[in-house]
Structure 1
Amino acid sequence: MELILDVVIDALIDSLKILPFLFITYLIMEYLEHKTAEFTSGVVEKTEHFGPLWGGLIGAFPQCGFSAAASNLYAGRVITLGTLIAIYLSTSDEMIPLFISEQVPIKTMIQVLAIKALIGILAGFVIDFVVHAYHKAHNKSINDPVRISSLCEKEHCHCDDDESEGLFGIVKSAFVHTFHIFVFVLILTLVLNLVIELIGEDKVALLLKTSPVISHILAGLVGLIPNCAASVIITELYLDQMITLGTMMSGLLVGAGIGLLVLFRVNDNKKENINIALLLFFIGTVIGLLIDLIGITI
């Protein structure tokens, strides 16, 4: 009973952390949908070229809600795939609080954040370049149509009915979206926390201390867990000098907080979602392995 209570409390805390990010994101998206259709198209034009840069920089801030916000923006086609991946790769969530609690030098923290942000930015630009080249080669439209309204239809929030209500309608629609996603995240977080508690963090840690290549793959798989606990385990192992910098980076680069969880909820194209998760895993683990092969240390 005590275990279940702890799991419920932890799940509530983790889920409540993302509420402000979700609500603010939906407010912005609802405003774009209700008031500025032309401006929304302009946003797509701008992020097509500079999105990965801003995504990589903003994603580096120590929070796990921005990746959830990015998933919603991508599902609405307000940002590009490259921008989404840049944000996922640079997201830091619980790493910085742990570094601070362990009195890790500020220089080290900045270096780790800089590496994650740089990798995210470079990967984002490369991905957008490849996507644009592919579309051009196949005579397809480079820009996906902005489809924020499709999110409204999926959530059955009747946003169009609220247009005449002005600001109140925008706030109401944003609240409905936020509530639906919050409930979804809370339920799955409860399940994930329970599984982690039953298996034991020590067993997960043991898996990461096997052979070098396997440790990177396992770290990436742990990073795919849509829960802040993944970054906690990986960061603690690095601080205890049980894994290398590259192995830690494999897990932290792949780890996008609950971003992937939200993506699978709000983006209808499940095949695309799976491909995004696989792309994130591939980039994170390969870069982490390269860091160790080159011998980078901080």
Structure 2
Amino acid sequence: MLDLLWDALLDSLKMLPFLFGAYLLMEWAEHHTGGRLARALSRPGVMGEVGGVVGGALLGIVPQCGFSVAAANLFAARLISPAVLAAVFLATSDEAIPVLLAHPDSLHMLWPLLGMKVLLAVLGGLLTALLFRRARPAEDPHADMCAHCGCEEHGIVRGALHHTVRIFLLLLAVNLALGVTLHFAGEDALATLMLSGSTAQPFVTALVGLIPNCAASVVLTELFVQGGISFGSAVAGLCTGAGLGLVVLFRTNRPMKQNLLLVAWLYAFSVLADVIINMF
């Protein structure tokens, strides 16, 4: 049990720099721009939206899920659009790159996998811009984030630390709960659910990718390397695998309906992408 606690603590500590950086940026935006920055970024022009989506896709492909956590926080504060958030989430690879690097005989699949994820992230982000173009709140985007935290009285650093600690504790609890579950259920039990050779495989792998823990990306990548799932199914699972960014999204963003719609859309897009890939 101590090993599980230690692993959960390490996974959560990796998120701290991203969490603090995101909250510091949000605090600065609130206190020094009077909401102008948030309004400008939430109503970008066509080229601004495209640039944001491409940038989000490139950031998301970086190993670990820190950028998805930061993106979820920035989206909750309305500092980025749904399209940019979707691009980051779809591109997030979590532990896939380190796992592939640990298998020298599978390195030839690294660039095709990353390239496909970036391409899908850009495409998915642009489609999200069309589907969620009206998904912007009328109220102050910082109101919920800063309720009762005393940010205005104590400055932006203390406010950012307050939010960082609160979300860090949530991530630690989630990591520990998932670690205990996987420990007692076993990763082999998860692997048997992948329906090897079945046309339903992409639906299952995309669902597994929604598990907000790096273990999901590890299992999916290992199964892909070992031939247990197809390339398309691996892409589908890793596209929905936004890691702890999903936890932060549901914790910080309102309305909840928007979160559910975004996740449902990302799941549907990932499954469809798998079906298209497997046709070739």
Q: TM-score, normalised by structure 2?
A: 0.92
Preserved CA contact (<8 Å) 2:37 2:79: no
Task: Please name the residue that 1:277 is paired with.
Answer: 263
Task: Please name the residue that 2:33 is paired with.
Answer: 36
Tell me the amino acid that sits aligned with residue 146 of structure 2. C
SS in 2 for 1:205: helix
Shift of 1:101: 1.1
Task: Please name the residue that 1:214 is paired with.
Answer: 200
Preserved CA contact (<8 Å) 2:214 2:243: yes
Task: Please name the residue that 1:50 is paired with.
Answer: 51
Any unmatched runs of 5+ in structure 1?
136-141, 163-168
2:23 is aligned with 1:23 = no
Shift of 1:45: 3.6
- Aligned mates of 2:246, 2:221 — CA distance in 1: 20
Task: Please name the residue that 2:111 is paired with.
Answer: 110
Tell me the amino acid that sits aligned with residue 68 of structure 1. V
Task: Please name the residue that 2:11 is paired with.
Answer: 14
> Over residues 28-83 of structure 1, what are the superposed CA-to-partner deviations in whole Å (9 max), with x where a residue is unaligned?
11111111232333333445453211111111111211101111111111111111
RMSD: 1.8
2:150 to 149, 152, 158: 158
How many equivalent pairs are there?
A: 275
Query: Structure 1 residues 247-256 or 50-59, which shifts more?
Result: 50-59
Identity %: 39
Preserved CA contact (<8 Å) 1:33 1:149: no
SS in 2 for 1:151: coil
Query: Structure 1 residues 248-257 or 202-211, which shifts more?
Result: 202-211
The 3 A distance-change label for structure 1 pair 49 and 209 is: closer
- Aligned mates of 2:279, 2:113 — CA distance in 1: 17
Shift of 1:149: 3.6
Q: TM-score, normalised by structure 1?
A: 0.87
1:184 to 166, 170, 184: 170
Once the two structures are superposed, the pairs formed by residues 66-215 of structure 1 within 5 Å of their partners are: 66-104=67-105, 108-132=109-133, 135=134, 144=137, 147-153=141-147, 156-162=148-154, 169-215=155-201
Answer 1 or 2: which has greater helix percent: 1
Tell me the amino acid that sits aligned with residue 64 of structure 1. C
Shift of 1:152: 1.1
Structure index of larger Rg: 1
Any unmatched runs of 5+ in structure 2?
none
> Over residues 204-228 of structure 1, what are the superposed CA-to-partner deviations in whole Å (9 max), with x where a residue is unaligned?
1111134422211111111010001
Tell me the amino acid that sits aligned with residue 44 of structure 1. S
